[in-house]
């Protein structure tokens, strides 16, 4: 069960559960949201379980951000925008792209004013847009001041108490309603803060790794599920039927802790407006003394390392699968 607190009123929660417009209707299970007692969320973070945290005021100074404000204060730099002919924005690693790989989206550099204009004028049938930009020193002084006024005392205390590594980036996300980030996992701890609009997140633990059939580590879609959630192919991916998810709907001011190696699928709810979010990505902390049996997320890390070593040793990614099959069928079946 994903423990958390919705920042919205009970009537909104009922509407979300009964009549919200989803892009797909695949069912994973139920989720009960309730008000945790003070600091209970810390236990969930300690146990690397997802939790919705409210009343932190972590990004309070940014809750007034909208396209007009950002146009005025973000500065004149170029920002990374992905364009898609459909609503899906599956991540791909350009460094791993090969001549036979066709990216599902187009990445372009765009001024904030141009992005805002296209969002305001967007009509069904147009290319969809999704701004994904790490905040850097090109932003204007007002944004810098808002950023400095985030609750860094609160988030730094979480970093210290849970032995996370350094903050690697703050990614600003501005999405059209209905945009979807397909299911994937990250190799970092993530505090995902909602600023404008509502997002639906469905999460799955590392224990269900085999249900999602991730791409090989050398593939551009590394860490992404091969399963199309809207049209799952149960012939190719039969274990996907066993996936049991945990759901959270985030409103302005909510913070979702997404633990390292947890699968998550994120959707901007179709409420007639764009959504705005910012995440706080922290590197994994020092390993320390290994305790057995290993946790499931540790096993995922081991699998990744084994696969990487085999690719390096064999010098041909296509040989990895046959070698692993020979190993398992010859010794462990």
pLDDT of 39 strictly over 90: no
30 and 113, same domain (yes or no): yes
- What is the average pLDDT across 116-140? 95
Cα angle, residue 172 at apex, residues 168 and 176 outer, rounded to 5°: 145
- What is the average pLDDT across 79-86? 98
pLDDT of 120 strictly over 90: yes
The answer as to whether 229 is a domain residue is yes
Residue 256: enclosing H or E segment and its boundaries? strand 255-258
171 and 304, same domain (yes or no): no
Neighbours of 267 (CB within 10 A): 24
Q: How many domains are contained in the chain?
A: 2
The answer as to whether 93 is a domain residue is yes
148 and 226, same domain (yes or no): yes
Mean pLDDT estimate for the chain: 88
The CATH number of residue 317's host domain is 1.10.287.1010
106 and 254, same domain (yes or no): yes
Looking at 176-295, list the stretches that DSSP marks H as alpha helix, in order from N- to C-terminal side.
Answer: none
The answer as to whether 288 is a domain residue is no
113 and 207, same domain (yes or no): yes
- What is the average pLDDT across 144-162? 97
Q: Which residues sit opposite 264 in a β-bridge?
A: 184, 203
Dihedral sign of CA atoms 90, 86, 280, 141 in order: positive
Q: Please state, in angstroms and as integers, the Cα–Cα distance from residue 103 to each residue in 92, 100, 265, 326, following that order.
A: 7, 10, 19, 32
165 and 309, same domain (yes or no): no
The CATH number of residue 146's host domain is 2.60.120.10
Residue 94 vs residue 40, higher pLDDT: 94
198 and 306, same domain (yes or no): no
269 and 308, same domain (yes or no): no
Q: Which two tokens stand for residue 165?
A: 């590594």
Distance CA 102, CA 219 (A): 12
Which tens digits make up the pLDDT trace of 194-232?
Answer: 999 999 999 999 999 999 999 999 999 999 999 999 999
pLDDT of 46 strictly over 60: yes
165 in Cβ contact with 260 (< 8 Å): no
The answer as to whether 155 is a domain residue is yes
Residue ranges making up the domain that contains 207: 10-282
The answer as to whether 1 is a domain residue is no
Look at residue 38 in the predicted model and tell me its pLDDT. Answer: 61
199 and 321, same domain (yes or no): no
Q: Please state, in angstroms and as integers, the Cα–Cα distance from residue 12 to each residue in 6, 129, 229, 251, 260, following that order.
A: 9, 27, 25, 10, 30
Cα angle, residue 206 at apex, residues 204 and 209 outer, rounded to 5°: 90
214 and 142, same domain (yes or no): yes
pLDDT of 18 strictly over 60: no
Q: What is the pTM of this model?
A: 0.90
248 and 309, same domain (yes or no): no
The answer as to whether 253 is a domain residue is yes
The answer as to whether 287 is a domain residue is no
Percent of the chain with pLDDT over 70: 89
- What is the average pLDDT across 141-163? 97
The answer as to whether 289 is a domain residue is no
Burial class from Cβ neighbours inside 10 Å (0-12, 13-18, 19+) for residue 255 reads buried
187 and 319, same domain (yes or no): no
């Amino acid at each position: 069960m994903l423990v958390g607190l919705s920042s919205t009123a009970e009537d909104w929660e009922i509407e979300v559960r009964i009549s919200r417009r989803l892009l797909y209707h695949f069912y994973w299970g139920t989720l009960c949201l309730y008000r945790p007692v003070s600091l209970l969320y810390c236990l969930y973070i300690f146990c690397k379980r997802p939790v919705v945290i409210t009343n932190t005021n972590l990004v309070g100074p940014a809750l007034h951000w909208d396209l007009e404000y950002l146009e005025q204060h973000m500065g004149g730099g170029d920002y990374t925008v992905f364009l898609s002919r459909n609503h899906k924005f599956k991540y791909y690693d350009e460094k791993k792209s090969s001549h036979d790989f066709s990216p599902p989206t187009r990445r372009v550099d765009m001024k904030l004013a141009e992005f805002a204009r296209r969002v305001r004028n967007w009509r069904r049938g147009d290319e969809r847009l999704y701004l994904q930009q790490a905040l850097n020193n090109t932003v204007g002084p007002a944004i810098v001041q808002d950023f400095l006024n985030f609750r860094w005392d609160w988030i730094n205390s979480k970093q210290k108490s849970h032995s996370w590594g350094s903050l690697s980036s703050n990614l600003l996300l501005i999405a059209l309603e209905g945009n979807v980030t397909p299911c994937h996992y990250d190799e970092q701890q993530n505090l995902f803060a909602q600023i404008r609009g509502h997002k639906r997140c469905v999460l799955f633990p590392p224990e269900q790794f085999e249900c999602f059939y991730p791409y090989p580590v050398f593939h551009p879609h590394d860490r992404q599920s091969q399963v199309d959630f809207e049209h799952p192919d149960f012939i190719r991916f039969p274990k996907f039927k066993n996936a049991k998810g945990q759901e959270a709907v985030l409103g302005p001011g909510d913070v979702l802790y997404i633990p390292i190696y947890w699968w998550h699928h994120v959707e901007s709810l179709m409420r007639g407006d764009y959504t705005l979010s910012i995440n706080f990505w922290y590197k994994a902390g020092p390993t320390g003394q290994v305790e057995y049996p290993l946790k499931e997320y540790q096993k995922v890390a081991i699998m990744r390392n084994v696969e990487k070593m085999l690719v390096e040793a064999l010098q041909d990614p296509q040989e990895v699968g046959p070698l692993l099959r020979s190993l398992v069928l010859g010794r462990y079946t």
